[in-house]
Amino acid sequence: MNFNTRLLHEGVKKEPNGATFPPIFQSSAFAQESAEDLAGIFANKKMGYCYTRVANPTISAFEERITKLEGGIGSVACASGMAALSMALLNILQAGDEIISSASLYGGSIDLFRDIEAFGIKTRYVENNNWEEIEGAFNEHTKVVFAETIGNPCLDVTDIDKLAEISHRHGTPLVIDNTTATPYLVRAIEHGADIVVNSSSKYINGSSNSISGILTDSGHFKWTKERYPVLGEYIKYGPFAYISKMRSGLYRNMGTCLSPFNAYLNVIGLETLGLRMERQCSNALALAQWLEENYDDITVNYPGLKSSKWNGIANTILKNGYGAILTIRVGTKERAFEIMNKLTIPYILSNIGDTKTLVVHPSSTISLHSTEKELADAGVYDDLIRISVGIEDVEDLIADFRTAIS
């Protein structure tokens, strides 16, 4: 089956009473027929639900669809993308461990990596796709490698195959944040990623009506007790070690579960992910090309443009398009603000992946807490506007930008 068919029919279970959509099980706990049944569920000896912080049928329906879509063996849905990323890393890390991460990251992830230093976990930043620097960053403490498929807002594209090859040679799993690309553009597991994280608040939900995140385990990484002692007794589950420890450990105990209602909204959004991405990517390419062709004093950054440093890698890694985010540099911060204020269609807000076009001035908002070095690494400048392109008719977007710029 192809992508859109799979969205509608893969990972889909029979629902009660022939319902064609998963009902919202807005219930905190689930009663069993007998004390033995409940004891069996608690001991992981019987399938079933006991408490929504651990698992819930509506949330499972969302998780199973994403597992199929990303091509993994299991997923865990969380209250936000940041929660999913925290869980993905902390599930295997302990004090003294190190992360090697691309320096081109979403600002919230940089903030998180700073926070977990207090728990003895250090991050070594490297230039994305700089293989020599990446090789040099490994040491005996390195336990995870991390990058975004398309860096937000730098829009660099990660050569996932190459990064996975290097990580694996050093006995280290690769975690990929696939939020900006989505499985429509790339199934990171097929390129060697071990764990994939998506902020489903963005393209997967699609309409910005709920915050959520989800991580998917490929089941490919060979965990060992020696290198990952925190996996403890779960090592015996082999390929399921990581996901079982997550569900029975950190996820349950830190309480990062998703609300069943938000899971329901995500399943609605997911059905149209392919259609929306197709339109959003083609709109983004058309807008980027039009801006580049028509304005000598505006620099356009979009992986789909020949002028992008990452166009070559994008062509080998991404399928079906180049994503729906572009950035433009307009000369000064004042001009950036002026253009944003004159636009009538886009919303001025800090989000991506909505059906509606969104604009933001990163240096005064999402990157406000970044250092000079972090700003440079993330490709953030004072005159930069980030545009998350929606599904509007592109002629209207172009007309709106033409008026605002003039």
Name the residues that contact ligand PLP, by CB under 6 A.
80-82, 106, 108-109, 148, 152, 177, 179-180, 199, 201-202, 211, 213, 352
As measured in angstroms, the least distance from the Cβ of 25 to ligand PLP is 22
Within 8 A by CB and 6+ apart from 82, the residues are 108, 109, 112, 199, 213
Residue 103 C-beta: closest distance to ligand PLP, Å: 14
Phi, psi of 72 (to 5 degrees): -110, -170
By C-beta, is 167 or 179 nearer to ligand PLP? 179
Q: How far is the CB of 124 from ligand PLP (least distance, A)?
A: 19
Phi-psi region of 10 (alpha: psi -120 to 50; beta: other; left: phi over 0): beta
- Cβ closer to ligand PLP: 41 or 359? 359
Closest CA to 68 of 6, 114, 126: 6
367 near 374, Cβ under 8 Å? Answer: yes
Coil, strand or helix: which one is 307?
Answer: coil
3-state secondary structure of 322: coil
| Closest separation in Å from C-beta 37 to ligand PLP | 35
Task: Please give the residue whose beta carbon sits closest to ligand PLP in the complex.
Answer: 81
Minimum CB distance to ligand PLP smaller for 37 or for 111: 111
Min separation Cβ 379 and ligand PLP, Å: 14
SS3 313: helix
- The three-point CA angle 15-20-21 to 5° equals 75
Q: Are 396 and 334 in contact (CB under 8 A)?
A: no
Residue 147 has φ and ψ, to the nearest 5°, of: -160, 165
358-360 and 347-348: which strand pairing? parallel
In the complex, minimum distance from the CB of residue 85 to ligand PLP, in angstroms, rounded to a whole number: 6
CB of 227 to ligand PLP, least distance (A): 26
Identify which of residues 51 and 347 has a Cβ nearer to ligand PLP in the complex. 347
Q: 193-209 burial, b if ≥16 CB within 10 A, otherwise e?
A: bbbbbbbbbbbbbbebe
Q: Name the amino acid, one letter, at 23.
A: P
Nearer to ligand PLP, 343 or 378 (CB): 378
Rg for the chain (alpha carbons), in Å?
Answer: 21
Residue 231 vs 314, nearer CB to ligand PLP: 314
Nearer to ligand PLP, 150 or 241 (CB): 150
Nearer to ligand PLP, 110 or 336 (CB): 110
Q: How far is the CB of 79 from ligand PLP (least distance, A)?
A: 8
125: left (phi over 0), alpha (psi -120 to 50) or beta: beta
Whether residue 207 contacts residue 92, with contact meaning beta carbons closer than 8 Å, is answered with no
Cβ(212)–Cβ(260) below 8 Å: no
Count CA within 13 A, CB hemisphere, residue 137. Answer: 28
Q: Based on the number of CB atoms within 10 Å of its own CB, is 284 exposed (0-12), middle (13-18) or buried (19 or more)?
A: buried
Please identify, using beta-carbon distances, which residue of 108 and 239 lies nearer to ligand PLP.
108
In angstroms, rounded to a whole number, what is the distance separating the alpha carbons of residues 321 and 315? Answer: 9
Q: How far is the CB of 33 from ligand PLP (least distance, A)?
A: 38
Provide the minimum distance between the beta carbon of 88 and ligand PLP in the complex, in angstroms, as a whole number.
Answer: 11
Closer of 199 and 216 to ligand PLP (Cβ): 199
